[in-house]
Homo-oligomer: A and B are copies of this chain.
Amino acid sequence: MSAADSTPGSGEQQDGCRTREVLDIVGDKWSLLVVRHLSQGPRRFTELKRAIDGISQRMLTVTLRGLERDGILTRTVRNVMPPHVSYELTPMGRTLREATAPLLEWSIEHLAHIDAARASYDARDRAPH
């Protein structure tokens, strides 16, 4: 609720703007995938790279940096040869993971339905009569 106003037309949906912010944080192509792949424990760079299908090393680096900057994961370097860097969710990162769980379950539950809806939509305007 926060400071909800009841006057529609001017200052409403202040909390709707939060949707914008959460998307700015994890709405990119890879962040949620990285978070998800860290949910079971620390992972090394190359492990993540192999686990997340299609990600480039550049985007993995960029994504990890962003999540580290946001305090969602930690980066731990062991100064040995060869280098050993591991990434791990912070407590806040784990709460993020939990917050995304419903959305994930939703997609699992409704994906078939969506495919069907798409097919029927495409058929609809392709065969006018």
* A contact residues vs B (CB 8 Å cutoff): 2, 8, 12-13, 15-23, 25, 27, 29, 32-33, 36-37, 40, 51-53, 68-72, 92, 95-96, 98-108, 110-111, 113-114, 116-118, 121-122
Contacts and interface: CB of A to CB of B under 8 A. Distances in A.
Q: How many copies does the complex hold?
A: 2
15 contacts: A8-B40, A16-B52, A18-B107, A19-B33, A20-B33, A21-B107, A21-B111, A23-B27, A23-B29, A69-B118, A71-B116, A71-B117, A71-B121, A95-B110, A96-B110
B95 A25 contact: no
Contacts of A27: 23, 27, 29
Given A95-B106, A96-B106, A99-B102, A37 B22 contact: no
Contact of A99 (B25, B106, B111, B121): B106
Given A92-B110, A110-B92, A104 B15 contact: yes
A117 B69 contact: yes
A20 B17 CA distance: 23
